[in-house]
Amino acid sequence: MDEHAFENLYCATFELLDRQWLLQKATYMEFSGVMAATRKVVEEALTDFNCKSAEELYDHLRTAC
């Protein structure tokens, strides 16, 4: 069991948020849209992605976009 699972998921999600922000060339006024796109990717990864370990989930989130 990964005792740092929550921290790793948080970091992968924050990195995804940053990539979404840069890809969309967002301004602070567009934060809610970037957050919604990030949330969608994370929710899909948690519900649809067939991963066998937490590390696979982190890798998937780190390469999403």
Within 10 Å of residue 33's Cβ, how many Cβ atoms? 12
DSSP for 34-54, written as a single string: HHHHHHHHHHHHHHT---SSH
Q: What is the pTM of this model?
A: 0.83
Which tens digits make up the pLDDT trace of 5-64?
A: 889 889 999 999 999 999 999 999 999 999 999 999 999 888 877 777 788 888 888 888
